[in-house]
Chains A and B, each alone.
Chain A
Amino acid sequence: MSLKALNISYTYQKKTPFEHKALNNVSVEIPKGSFTGIIGRTGCGKSTLLKHFNGLLTADEGKIIVDDVEADSKNVREIRKKVGLVFQYPEYQLFEDTVYRDVAYGLNREKISDEEKKERVIEALKTVGLDESYLERSPYELSGGRKRRVALAGVIVMKPQYLILDEPAAGLDPVGRRKIFSYIKKLQTEQGITIALVSHSMEDMADYADNLIVMDEGVVVTEDTPENVFRKTEMLEKLGLAVPQISKVWEILRKEFPELPDSIYTVQGAAEEIKKHMGGESK
């Protein structure tokens, strides 16, 4: 069970002077239950790939396989139910006059009772840290971070099994980004929702992801654990990316103390290794 792209190619504005090949023979697998991060410089085709996963774009070549079922034009509805996609700056899609109605928008097509609808909306809001007092407020009067969480709830309410997010923390302050990431992580650990997200923050990727896809100019360069990806400092830098700050600190430390283990890429991991090195016993 997984979300798979098999040999996907996609060209924008085919047969015009603006033709642009955004994906070139891309194959990736997002394993069920994983927290998969997608990194790559701007314009490398990350968003284009994400749009293939829930049928917003149809590949010129190749196929998308959702839990062993090939996506086609007939099962788009089921695929979209299974695979929720949260766009970049999702707060711009809010349109209703109350938070309740906006979050419930996606449920309007489902045949469920009003009570169940309300329950699901409240539950979805709770998963993004908003309580019932927000139900009747206008989404437009909320702060940027809360608006975004409302928009996120509007997708979570559909109970997708795969949740795909395009730069969910872009433009938020540090507290806002930590909150968003912790809610997303909880969706994975507590509800078993598979997460795939794009982020430019290597630190966030190191902290949360357990599987990393590295893209460049429409191709997948590598798919591996964060540990293995962040070992390849040179490759990442050539692709316009970087290793987390703490890995750089770690490299400097390792020059002084070669006995330290290699490949540390989270603050937590570094702290533990340093403690061990300093005699182990902490108070």
Chain B
Amino acid sequence: MKPAIGQYIPGNSFLHRTDPRIKILMTVIYMVAIMFIDSFIGYAASGAVLVAAVIASRLSPIYVLKSVKPLIFLILLTIVLNIFFYGGETLWAQFWIIKIYKEAILFSVKMALRILILVAGASLLTFTTSSIALTDGLERLMSPLEFIHFPAHDIAMMMSIALRFIPIFSDEATRIMDAQKSRGAEFDTGGLIKKVKGLVPIIIPLIVSAFRRAEDLASAMEARCYRGGKGRTRFKVLKFTWRDPLAFAIITALLVCIIVFSL
């Protein structure tokens, strides 16, 4: 199992110990702010916030870099598409019928930065927050909505189960792939169609095992008398400490500054 997106990396840093509710709120505000920013100064500033957060998490920056690595292809694709199809006024270069405008390049670079910062920010949240804390925080944040019969607990429970099963299924996929490889399968050769076809021997056993695990989990939960969220108490109750308002204040202030300056 490789450290994947969404994997919690245990630690004891400032960021690890901040209340998950605060971290979720901060991440959401951060993401919204990124959406508003439209200048390179703004990107530089929000990048600096990100760097500060990484330092506060005491994680090796390599994790954060690795978390955006799977997106490189997507980002390159958006850049290329934007350069070709986003029009503009100032013509910089022309090859045959392809015209490249200054505005198009600036726009696609901004897009790329936006995606990078978004993903890096989100993965910093999951790196420093265990899935239990994460869903606990989400449930508490959503709980006011229960007045309008919004199933906050159920959604949080589904999320925590989904998160919990990501590493299990990734392990299982590796295991099944190894098993098929040792009876002659090769997954990294051949054309695209061959490669997609080659996935069938992995996907079918994986789906079968997902159903088996779902059934097992359902029985296990029933055996422990799980009946949904009503009246459920907690072993670990979330409590705010001095860290939390501090972190919240700092990040909000920073982001407000960034937005105001870069609008």
Contact = CB atoms under 8 A, between A and B. Distances in A.
Contacts of A80: 181-182, 184
B97 interface: no
Given A13-B3, A17-B10, A93 B180 contact: yes
Interface stretch (B74-82, B171-179, B216-224): B171-179
Nearest to A154: B183
Interface string B148-189: 000000000000000000000000000110111111111000
Interface stretch (B102-110, B112-120, B199-207, B251-259): B199-207
Nearest to A157: B183
A17 B57 CA distance: 14
21 contacts: A13-B2, A13-B3, A16-B9, A18-B1, A18-B3, A51-B178, A54-B182, A56-B178, A80-B181, A81-B184, A84-B183, A92-B209, A93-B179, A95-B204, A105-B201, A106-B185, A109-B186, A140-B208, A154-B183, A155-B182, A155-B183
B181 A95 contact: no
Contacts of A94: 205
A134 interface: no
B182 A85 contact: yes
B3 A93 contact: no
Interface residues of B, number: 22
Contacts of A85: 182
Nearest to A88: B175
Contacts of A22: none
Contact of A56 (B9, B176, B181, B208): B181
Contacts of A246: none
Contacts, number: 63
A117 to B, nearest CB: 13
Contacts of B183: 84, 105-106, 154-155, 158
Contacts of B176: 92-93
Interface in B129-156: none
A93 B205 CA distance: 6
B61 to A, nearest CB: 13
A168 interface: no
Nearest to A17: B9
Nearest to A103: B183
A106 B184 contact: yes
Given A80-B182, A95-B201, A13 B175 contact: no
Interface string B1-21: 111000001100000000000
B6 to A, nearest CB: 15
| A-B pairs with lowest CB-CB distance, top 9 | A106-B184, A106-B183, A95-B204, A85-B182, A93-B179, A87-B179, A95-B201, A56-B178, A95-B205
Contacts of A54: 182
Nearest to A77: B186
Q: Which of B176, B179, B209 has the largest number of chain A CB atoms within 10 A?
A: B179
B99 to A, nearest CB: 45
A105 B205 contact: no
B178 A13 contact: no
Nearest to A83: B182
